[in-house]
Structures are given as structure tokens and as C-alpha cells.
Chains A and B, each alone.
Chain A
Amino acid sequence: MTAATETEVLPENPFAADVEEPLPPPTTLVIFGATGDLAGRKLLPAVYNLRRGGLLPESFHIIGIGRRDAGDEQFRAHAHDSIATFSRTGLDDDTWRTLEPKLEFIRGDLDDPALYRTLARRLGDGDFQAGSSQRVFYLAVSPAFFGTIAKSLAAVGLGAEADPPTRLMIEKPFGHDLDTALALNAEVSSAFDESQIFRIDHYLGKETVQNVQVMRFANGILEPVWNRRYVEHVQITMAEDIGIGRRAGYYDSAGAIRDVIQNHLIQLMSLVAMEAPVRFDAGTIRDEKVKLLRSVRRYALAEVPEYVVRGQYGSGWIGGEEVPAYVDEEDVPDDSRTDTYVAMRVEVDNWRWAGTPFYLRCGKRLPRRVTEIAVRFRPVPHLPFARADIGEVEPNEMVLSVQPDEGASLRLVAKVPGQTMNVRPVQMEFKYGTSFLGDSPEAYERLLHDALLGDATLFTRADEVEEEWRIIEPVLQAWQEDPHGPATYGAGSQGPPEADELLAVRGRRWRQL
């Protein structure tokens, strides 16, 4: 092949214009924690479904890394079983046959430098060198190892300066508080450039979360009313009916505020409240989100009890089953003060939202599983009807439902047919399933594919993570100094009564779960 010259004008790729979903370049995906839960349930099935959908390049290798005493064959068997169990499309032998020979396993301890030398040697072998034009490292391990792995990879030439280029994918939690988040970012950034780091908040990979932006920015009727003049308040809820299962080890040190509020709910809030991006690209969207996060009011420690309520579930009944209290769950200390429920009033101090509060609420062992964004509009300024005839008129409300029934609804008020002027609220509903064909890809499929293509739009940037922690930090500090623990709420109830008081102005109340 001829070498390029400075004056050479390359022909454009004539085939690219007809391709909607481009293929990533030849890739080696290295999964740390390859035999763990996350890899088995999410990552390997995601890779399989991408392969099945023809969204991976022919040259695509996976190197699994783990502490388990296993070889290639055992890893392949583990991957096969994981895919068969957890893939949304099942397992098709033809697709599996194209993937199976591309799977390898390296056994090693994550803090052992020899592991990284072995990995570098393997990646440098002829067959990988020839095929791969990028390496992606997925850290499906405890965050305690993020820094060690990043620095160890850089030490063997697989970090910021690597050739072929590398990417690092890490999972939340990104730190335990602001200090640890800053330290983690600094540690990872010392080994990889920010453009190489892909922080996953899998919520952002959900179709319906992405749809929040489409709803807002592609529907002309919403934008004029999407501000403090027309919106009375916003409620963002992520309720679960399940308990903590076997996650006590992680959950008891994190609590609902770190597990859900700091990342998922603040991310949802930023999508609802951010200004319209000029372009739909990673830099622009994340700039707008960071601007929004910076305009969120930081509370003084003394203000925290006024704005934030925490709770912990007691025993109760859910779905006709009696369930234990949080402190009676497996591996939870009897005196645990961990929050399993948080309700928080967030004030956004900017021109669009000043005076319109955002209420964030999450919890476990609530009556049902639901994630939704409810935008409550201000009431009409004047009702021309006699109030005695029509009673209280509910203001309009738009609900964007993330799960389980994905869609949107708008509450209007309509006259009840008849001789009298009776009115009642009616719902205009749009459900995803009624209007779209096709299965949605799993969030991990979308996110992994984006990362392989280098598109960071749906990933969290370092400054975003830090701003999220800055919002939460005063709450964490206040709770640490608070001699009282979280309020107890019965499993299956609407949450602690204190949370109702958070809204109890101007007739506000939580949407019923």
C-alpha cells in the first residue's frame, strides 16, 4: 500500500452513507471480573445480542479475567450458560459458534502486577495485533479495584498512551462521597485520559430515559410551558417493592441516597431540567447537564432536615406476603441506620426553574415497582365555572413513565356527560407497546455498543459525578452528625409520614404508589 502524503486528498468512504448503525472497529474486550455476577447476567448476554444483531465486527475477541481457577474451556462454558439463562433472545447455536472461539480466560489477582504483564503480552501476540484496532477494558469488579487496575494497565503501556487505543469502562458507584469520588477520578485520570473513560449509569441506557430528551426537545408544545411559570413542581420517583436481597454487604454501607439518588434520580432530574443542547453529542449534552447540576442549591447542614427525609423499612406485607424488616435481612447489623427510603426536595436556582421544586423519592419495600417523572402544572388562574358546581379542579399533570409501563400520560379535566356541570380528571395515555414494534435492546447492549464506537453521550463525565456528590455531600454530613436514625416505615406502605410533610404546602402531595 502507498504511504500517505501531506497533499493527498482521500476519497470519502462511499459505503458509509447507507449504514445507520456502524460497526465498531476490530476490538478486544477485556472483562475484569469475567466470572462474576454482572458479567454473567448483563455483559456476556449483551455481547451475544450485539453479535446476533450483526452489530459487532468480525474481529471481536473477549479476554475474561478472574480469580477463579479456570481455563478457556471453563470460561466458555460459563459464558454459554450465562447467555442461555439471561439473554433476552435466548441462545442460538449459530451465533454462539461465531462467538465461542473468540473467548479466552486469564486467571490472576487484580493487585498482582504479573497479571497485567501477562495480559499485555497476550494482547501483543500476533493474532491480536493483526486484528484489533482498539482494546476496551470493562471493570466488572468492586470499585475498590478501579484505581489499582487503571494504574496497573497504564504501567504496562495500556493506558493513556496505548497504541492501539484503549478505553476503560467502569460501573457505579463512583466513590462513596465527594472526597472518595475526587480521589477515584484523580487515580483513574492519572492512567487514562477522560476521553477514554466511560462511566456507566445503566439507567441512561434505558430507552425510556433517552425518550425524556426526545419528548422535551422534539415536541414543540412542551418547551413553552417547561419552566417555573407553568410548572408548579416535579416529582421523580423510583420505587421498588423488593428488599435488598443479598446485597447487604454493599447496600448497608451505601443506602438509598448513594444507591439511587446520587446517580439515577439526579441524572433523571438533569435530563428533565437541563437546557436544550445545541447538538445531540456527548460534549454538548454533558455540558448542559453539568450547568444544571451546578445550579442546584447546596443546603447548609442545618437545612437538611427541612429538605430531606430518610426512612428504613420495618416488617410488613407486600403482594400478600409477609416480609421482614430491613434490620432482619440477611447480613444486616441489628443496629443499622442505613436509609432504604429517601425523599428530597431539590431547588434549582436558575431562571428556568427558580421557585419550582423537584421532589426526588426512592425506596425499597414500597407497594409497587415504578419509576416515573411527574410534572405538575400550575392551576388555571381563574375558573369561569361556579366552584360549587364543579368542586376542586385538579391541575394538569404530565407523567413520563420509565418503568414498568413505559410511556407518557397527560391529565386533563373534562366534563362528565349529563345535565350538570360536573367535571373529573381524564387521562390521555401513550404506551410504548401500543405504538412501537420491536424489542428494546437491554441498556447494557446500547451502552456497550456506544462505548465500542467511542460515543460517550450516555456516559457520566467526571465533573458530572463530582457535581452529583456536591449536591449530596451536605446530606451525608448532616446524617452523620444526626443522633436520630432514619424514620421507620412499614414494608408495603407509602413511606415514612415525615415525607408527606416535605410536600405539605399549597396542597402538594406525593403521587400514590
Chain B
Amino acid sequence: MSATATIGREYPERTRWVGKGVTAEDINAELDRLHRAAGGSGKVLALARTLNLIVVPCSDRIEKRVEQALDGLGGHTPSRTLVLREQGKKRLDANLVMECESPVAAGHVGLCHDRVLLTMDESRLEHSESLLAPLIVADLPTVLWLPEPGTAIPDPGLLERAQHVLVDSGAGDEAELRRLGELAGDIRVHDLAWGRLEYWRAATAAAFDPAERRRLLPAITAVKLRYEKHGLGAGLLLAGWIAARAGWSPGSLERNDGRARVQAARRDGGKVTIELDEAPPDHGCGGVDAMQFVGDSGEVAVGRGGATSSLRDMFAEALQPEPSFSRGYLPAVTAASTMLDGTT
């Protein structure tokens, strides 16, 4: 086993340890040592205790993006981040980083968190839950982050270990919604694309608050939705939510000349056409640019109102016991999956 320790910037202070052919016990011992070393210079430091974040699996292709995202979480730090990667060598290698804030003034407490990059062979990856169990901080929520669309979960045990799965359907094509529709039936899925639509859900609800507009709802005949470039998935997710909450049964998505439409049936048998069109470049927020409900006796427009939350805001949201942005997700993604089934 080889070990090195280097001190990084003053803020945050970063201490690193690298080990090859290690065990979980070695890693735990080094994490303890790194924390003691960080607080050794008379500073008051405390370990953040927010969550365990398992990033799985992290390929070369997106390694940098994941690294940047984790750096961006900064002070919103998970207590323990465990990043899994596959390698050809039949052993477990670990790269540990302990990051500590410098206390801003005497009497203040600086926060520390740690990040553990675990590189392992395929068979270990397939049993990674047993490897992670001793490294997970007890009594904290555990979140599984699948940063790459279409990622297969290498060990089904991870789904039992985690209480939440964090994904971003907006990072892939809309077909990802089908897979998430299935996953969301088994475990709480926090789709960052859904989080970015929070404004649109609140704006839709606000638009139908006035009594005279609510009266229109049973007789809506069309919904016109403009989505951002490459944002059809977001458009479908929002359309799925509207259909599910309004009690409409959506049919299959039809695409023609770059336009997409879905025919849905209202409870009273009436038809609703959901039209999805791409917005001009640089329009939109959270994947959507504008929405309009058309009825026999009037129209309701829902316009763009604000920027969307950052990744770290959404991480924070995802950790709420009843995260607001997961509300309504299952019916939305289920309806969107239905639209994608039999797409023409």
C-alpha cells in the first residue's frame, strides 16, 4: 500500500491519501486519520453530517463533469461522497480527499467533508453494496446519483441501500423517461429535470387558481407547449404531469416535420391535443419556454417567469423528507412514458 499526503489551498484545505489494493477497513482508518490531521492545528472543525452520496458508476467520459459538479456543491457538502469506477486490475484502489473550510473567525466552526474515489474490477463492482456498507455513515440518508443517462445499476443491492436515486433525464434523450418510469415505481427518484420544471408547475397551478379559469379546465381542447432546443424530454415530462393531474388519458407521441403532438382523452370523452414545438434558440427556462391552454370559451397562457435552481439547490431539495420536486413525478413520468410507447 502506498500513501501520500499533500496539503492544498488554504481555503478549502484539502488533504489527500491514495492507496492501492486496499480494504474498506484501511479506508475508514485513513478517513479518521485525515480528519484528525485536519483539525490538528488548533482549528475548530466539524464533520458535515448531511448525507451519503454514492456516484455510480462514473466513466472516464464524464469524470471531469462529475468532479466539477462535486466541487460546485462546495459548502453544501455531503458528509461522505463515494464515487465508483471500474478498472481492469483485480483490486480495490482508493483516492481519499478530506476538504475543510478554514473557520472564518475565532470561535467559528469550519466544516469538513470527505470524498472517496473507489476504483475496482467488474466483480467487485457487481457486489459494491457489500464494499460500501462499512463506509456509509450510519443514520444519514443515502443518495445514489446516476450522472450518466442510461447507466445500469451494477449491484441491485445499491437500490436497497439508498433511499433516493438522483438522475437527470434532461441530460439524455427523451427515451430515458421510459426507464425512469419503471425505476420510479420502485424507489424515490429525484429527476433534476423535474426540479427544473418547478416554476412551470407552480405557474400552472397559479394560472388555474382564479375561479373563472378553473371553470375552463374541463373543456380544454388543446395545450400548446414550447420547449427549449433539445428539451423535448422536459416538454413531455411537463405535458405528462398536466395530463395526469387533469385526468386526461394520453395517446402516443406523433412526430411530423419537427413538430410533436399527442392526442389525449378527457374524462368526459372529449379530445385534447397537446402540441409540442421547439422554441427559438436561447428561449426557455428549465427546458420550457411557454405554455397555453385553449378551451372553447377562453385561453390561459402560462409564461416564463424565472430562472431555475442550480444543481446544488436541487441536491438540497432532494434531501427533504418530502421533497417538493418529487411530488407528482411518478404520474408525470408514467404519462410521459405512455406517450413515448408506440411513438410514430
Contacts and interface: CB of A to CB of B under 8 A. Distances in A.
A25 B308 CA distance: 19
B297 A54 contact: no
Interface in B5-53: 46-51
A1 B298 contact: yes
Interface stretch (A12-20, A345-353, A501-509): A12-20
B245 interface: yes
Given A1-B215, A434-B111, A56 B305 contact: yes
B204 A15 contact: yes
B3 interface: no
Contacts of A24: 206
B227 interface: no
B108 A404 contact: yes
Contacts of B77: 437
A438 B312 contact: yes
Contacts of A224: none
Contacts of A55: 202, 306
A401 to B, nearest CB: 11
A58 B109 contact: no
A436 B203 contact: no
Given A1-B297, A11-B214, A17-B327, A56 B202 contact: no
A57 B305 contact: yes
A58 B303 contact: yes
A1 B242 CA distance: 22
A208 B317 CA distance: 19
The A interface, classified by DSSP as helix, strand, loop or mixed, is loop
Given A11-B214, A14-B247, A433-B111, A20 B49 contact: no
A433 B111 CA distance: 7
A23 B107 CA distance: 40
B313 interface: yes
Contacts of B215: 1-2, 4, 10-11
Contacts of B265: none
Interface string A345-365: 000000000000000000000
Contacts of B309: 53-54
A405 B217 contact: no
Of the listed residues A15, A56, A57, the one surrounded by the most CB atoms of chain B closer than 10 A to its CB is A15
Interface string A434-449: 1111110000000000
A52 interface: yes
Nearest to A15: B205
B306 A95 contact: yes
A36 to B, nearest CB: 26
Contacts of A20: 324, 327
B266 to A, nearest CB: 12
Nearest to B78: A437
Contacts, number: 149
A50 B331 CA distance: 28
B239 to A, nearest CB: 13
A4 B211 contact: yes
Given A18-B327, A19-B205, A431 B315 contact: no
Given A56-B306, A431-B109, A433-B48, A16 B209 contact: yes
Interface in A426-471: 429, 431, 433-439
A52 to B, nearest CB: 5
A368 interface: yes
Contacts of A50: 306
A98 interface: yes
Interface string A78-103: 00000000000000101100100000
B46 A431 contact: yes
Of the listed residues B111, B204, B216, B327, the one surrounded by the most CB atoms of chain A closer than 10 A to its CB is B204
A133 B210 CA distance: 10
Contact of B212 (A1, A21, A368): A1
A439 B315 CA distance: 12
B205 A94 contact: no
B315 A437 contact: yes
Nearest to B309: A53
A378 interface: no
Contacts of A23: 199, 202-203, 205-206, 305
B199 A434 contact: no
Given A10-B211, A18-B201, A438-B313, A54 B109 contact: no
Nearest to A18: B328
A22 interface: yes
B49 A437 contact: no
Contacts of B324: 19-21
Interface string A24-59: 110000000000000000000000001111111111
B138 interface: no
Of the listed residues A20, A98, A435, A437, the one surrounded by the most CB atoms of chain B closer than 10 A to its CB is A437
Contacts of B247: 14
Contacts of B198: 54
A22 B265 CA distance: 28
Interface in B190-242: 198-199, 201-206, 208-212, 214-218, 241-242
Nearest to B208: A13
B319 interface: yes
Given A1-B298, A21-B324, A438-B76, A95 B307 contact: yes
A58 B207 CA distance: 10
Nearest to B79: A434
Interface string A393-417: 0000000000011000000000000
B244 to A, nearest CB: 9
A434 B76 CA distance: 9
Contacts of B305: 23, 51, 54, 56-58, 60, 98
A16 B50 contact: no
A94 B308 CA distance: 11
A92 B307 CA distance: 9
Nearest to B218: A11
A437 B313 CA distance: 8
B70 interface: no
Contact of B49 (A13, A16, A51, A434): A434
A442 to B, nearest CB: 15
Contacts of B153: none
B304 interface: yes
B300 to A, nearest CB: 10
B75 interface: yes
B216 A405 contact: no
A431 B107 CA distance: 13
Contact of B206 (A10, A22, A53, A404): A22
B246 interface: yes
Interface of A: 1-2, 4, 10-25, 50-60, 92, 94-95, 98, 133, 368, 404-405, 429, 431, 433-439
13 contacts: A10-B215, A15-B205, A53-B313, A54-B306, A54-B308, A56-B305, A429-B46, A431-B46, A434-B109, A436-B316, A437-B77, A437-B78, A438-B313
Given A14-B217, A53-B306, A438-B312, 10 more contacts: A1-B215, A1-B216, A16-B208, A16-B209, A19-B201, A54-B309, A56-B305, A57-B206, A433-B48, A436-B316
